[in-house]
Amino acid sequence: MHREDSTSPERSKILRTFQKTFNIRFRSLELLNLSFTHRSYCNENPSRQRNNERLEFLGDAVLGMVVASRLYGMFESKPEGELARIKSFIVSEDTLSGLSLSLGLDGLLLMGKGEEMSGGRKKKAILADALEALIGAYFLDSGIEAASDLVRRLVDPEIEKVLRNRHKKDYKTIIQEYVQKYAQTHPVYVEGEGRGPDHDRTFRVSCVIGPNSYGPGEGKNKKEAEQAAARAAYEAIIAEGGLESARLLQIEER
């Protein structure tokens, strides 16, 4: 795949084609290139000292602000909890990685051979981070209006999917990402005593996050019960104030 520095004619041509295809324009191709530079690439290329992690941090903030503002303006009658619910799906790793693939960012990423051999170009976390880094880079390069326009073009169709109930509701993934991001730990799913005969058994599972236990969720198999428990945790956190603060989980951030 592409590993040339943005100063090379071939890499510059690739970046310009990307901009033309998706109707964005960077003043700095180096900044655009940096948004696609995974840390594994720098590890194998000592001449490259910077990766896209700082841009991802910035882009995450820009994305969150624009999506929140968009939802606030679009739905005047919806309460905070409902806006937070919609936002959590829009900015989830699953949604962002799908958008990243649709933009072809997997083919633009600069990464080390080891990471690429392990399937790095298709890893959801790497793809989602690359999209957030792109947003952060565009904000630095062209300002908040241009970055906001890019975010709106990306997320408006996803908002429509949520409203039509056509989005993927993977509550386990949502809870996992949230807890890892804000609490640097992970949820534990504890199986309880089931109900019913062996041929028609109902499984019961609780989602434990720090000192808090949510559920139990029920299902005809453990997977369904875990999803139900994760949904119970999700809805409880939303009711307490939204997926925006680790304090809701009563876990000290590290």
CA–CA gap between residue 244 and residue 237 (Å, rounded): 9
What DSSP assignment string belongs to 11-27? Answer: HHHHHHHHHHHTT---S
CA–CA gap between residue 163 and residue 157 (Å, rounded): 10
Residue 12: partners with Cβ closer than 8 Å, 6 or more residues away: 6, 29
pLDDT digits (tens, 9 = 90+) for 90-138: 998 889 999 999 999 999 999 999 999 988 899 888 999 999 999 999 9
Instruction: Return the pLDDT at 151.
Output: 97
More reliable by pLDDT, 53 or 219: 53
pLDDT over 50 (residue 249) = no
Average pLDDT, the chain: 85
CA–CA gap between residue 147 and residue 63 (Å, rounded): 9
Q: Is 179 helix (H, G, I), strand (E, B) or coil?
A: helix
Please calculate the CA angle 106-89-229 and round it to the nearest 5 degrees: 115
Tokens representing 50 are 């910077």
pLDDT digits (tens, 9 = 90+) for 42-51: 988 887 889 9
pLDDT band for position 5 (cuts 50, 70, 90): very low
pTM greater than 0.75: no
Instruction: Return the pLDDT at 166.
Output: 56
pLDDT digits (tens, 9 = 90+) for 131-190: 999 999 999 999 999 999 999 999 999 998 887 765 556 788 778 877 877 767 789 999
pLDDT digits (tens, 9 = 90+) for 61-92: 999 999 999 999 999 888 887 788 788 889 98
Instruction: Return the pLDDT at 243.
Output: 52
CA–CA gap between residue 242 and residue 248 (Å, rounded): 8
CA–CA gap between residue 20 and residue 129 (Å, rounded): 22
CA–CA gap between residue 209 and residue 222 (Å, rounded): 18
More reliable by pLDDT, 106 or 4: 106
Question: Among 120, 131, 53, which residue's Cα sits nearest to residue 91?
Answer: 131
Give the long-range contacts of residues 232-237, CB within 8 A, separation 24 or more: 232/207, 233/171, 233/175, 233/187, 233/207, 233/209, 234/88, 234/171, 234/174, 234/175, 237/178
How many CB atoms sit inside 10 A of residue 90's CB?
A: 24
Instruction: Return the pLDDT at 3.
Output: 40
Positions annotated as catalytic residues are 60, 132
Instruction: Return the pLDDT at 252.
Output: 31
pLDDT band for position 6 (cuts 50, 70, 90): very low
